[in-house]
A = this chain, B = another copy of it.
């Protein structure tokens, strides 16, 4: 194996592509490997990040590819502020947000106890949780004054 380690997400992408008669392109590989380094990112931010090494990679391709990742179950789109955030699913589950409605600051947190209670609620209703989203909106100490 020349490349040695292909992360499981890369394999998952290839499988999704194969199953849908889609192709594994240089851009898709590039965008996925950049994406895996993030917890969440916007299309625009990734565009700028990749433009340094690949100036011809178009923003439309990034959007198309991130949307593809959502279809493949690797990413989850979240509308936040004025742009769409693409969350890295493999980092999800322990990834909740505290969002300041004053200045837009975002703090990430995880809380096992909350997660345990979520499981409890789900079980009580006969559900098996696949993923969740918890966002707390409020004012940070700065903005409260």
**Residues of chain A having any CB pair with chain B under 8 Å:** 70, 76, 79-82, 98, 100-101, 107, 109, 111, 113-114, 117-118, 121-122, 125-141, 144
Contact = CB atoms under 8 A, between A and B. Distances in A.
B137 A125 contact: no
A128 to B, nearest CB: 5
Given A117-B114, A121-B109, A132 B137 contact: yes
B137 A135 contact: no
Given A132-B134, A135-B132, A98 B125 contact: yes
A140 B114 contact: no
B134 A133 contact: yes
Contacts of A136: 118, 121-122, 127, 129, 132
B127 A139 contact: yes
B117 A113 contact: yes
Contact of A129 (B107, B121, B127, B138): B138
A101 B114 contact: no
Given A121-B111, A136-B122, A100 B79 contact: no
A77 to B, nearest CB: 8
A125 B133 CA distance: 19
